[in-house]
Amino acid sequence: MSGTKIPESVLVVIHTADLEVLLLERADHPGFWQSVTGSRARPDEPLEQTCRREVHEETGLEVERYELSDWHLQNRYEIYAHWRHRYPDGVTHNTEHVFGLRLPAPLAVTLEPREHLRYDWLPWEQAAERCFSWSNVEAIRQLPRRSGAARH
C-alpha cells in the first residue's frame, strides 16, 4: 500500500542573530540531526503555513512571535528508498523550500517525542557539520550571508 505524503516540503533553519542554530535528532534514525522539516498537509497549503505548523509541532515555538523569511531557495532531491512508502506509488523526488526563522536568543523547545529525541543549539559551522542532509548543510552554510551577519 502506498502513502499519501505530498512530495513538497519546507526546511526551516531556526537561528539567532549571532548564528546559533537549532538542530533536532530524529527519533526514527538516532544520530541523524536536522533542522525543522516537513511536508505540506495538502497541495494548496501555503508554504508559510506549512512552516508555522511544522515548527510548532516539532518545537512548540509560535512562528508569529519571530522573524520568518522565505529564502526563495528550492532543492529537488531523490527521496531515500526507506521513506518512499510514505508517498504515492511512483513518487521518487521531493521539492524542498528553504526558510529561516530568526529568534532573539537560543530558547528551550518542546519536542514531539515521536519525531525527535533531543535538541541542541550550535554555532552555525558546527551545526552544518552535524546535519546528515546535504540540503540542510548547504542551507546552514548560507546562513551568514542570508542573515546579514558579519560573523563567519
Using CA atoms, how far apart are residues 76 and 57, in angstroms rounded to an integer?
24
| pLDDT for the residue 147 | 80
User: Which residues fall within 8 angstroms of residue 148, CB to CB, at 6 or more apart?
Assistant: none
Q: What is the mean pLDDT of residues 117-138?
A: 97
If pLDDT is split at 50, 70 and 90, which confidence band does 80 have? confident
CATH number of the domain to which 52 belongs = 3.90.79.10
Is the model's pLDDT at 99 over the cut of 70?
A: yes
Cβ proximity of 99 and 70 under 8 Å: yes
Q: Is residue 60 a part of any domain in this protein?
A: yes
| pLDDT for the residue 150 | 41
Q: Is residue 129 a part of any domain in this protein?
A: yes
Is the model's pLDDT at 148 over the cut of 70?
A: no
Least Cα distance to 41 among 72, 73, 68, 9 occurs for 9
Q: Is residue 35 a part of any domain in this protein?
A: yes
Work out the mean pLDDT of the chain and round it to a whole number.
Answer: 94
Q: Is residue 101 a part of any domain in this protein?
A: yes
Percent of the chain with pLDDT over 90: 90
Domain hosting residue 121, numbered range: 8-147
Give 131-142 pLDDT, tens digit per residue: 999 999 999 999
Q: Which residue do the cell numbers 539567532 mark?
A: 16
| Model confidence, pTM | 0.93
| Number of domains present in the structure of the chain | 1
Secondary structure in 3-state letters for 49-61: HHHHHHHHHHHCC
Q: Is residue 52 a part of any domain in this protein?
A: yes
| pLDDT for the residue 152 | 36
Give 42-66 pLDDT, tens digit per residue: 999 999 999 999 999 999 999 999 9
Is the model's pLDDT at 151 over the cut of 50?
A: no
Q: Is residue 3 a part of any domain in this protein?
A: no
Is the model's pLDDT at 1 over the cut of 70?
A: no
Q: Is residue 112 a part of any domain in this protein?
A: yes
Is the model's pLDDT at 143 over the cut of 50?
A: yes
For the chain, percent helix, then strand, then coil, each to nearest 5? 30, 35, 35
Q: Is residue 27 a part of any domain in this protein?
A: yes
The C-alpha cell at 55 is 515548527
Q: What is the mean pLDDT of residues 72-86?
A: 92
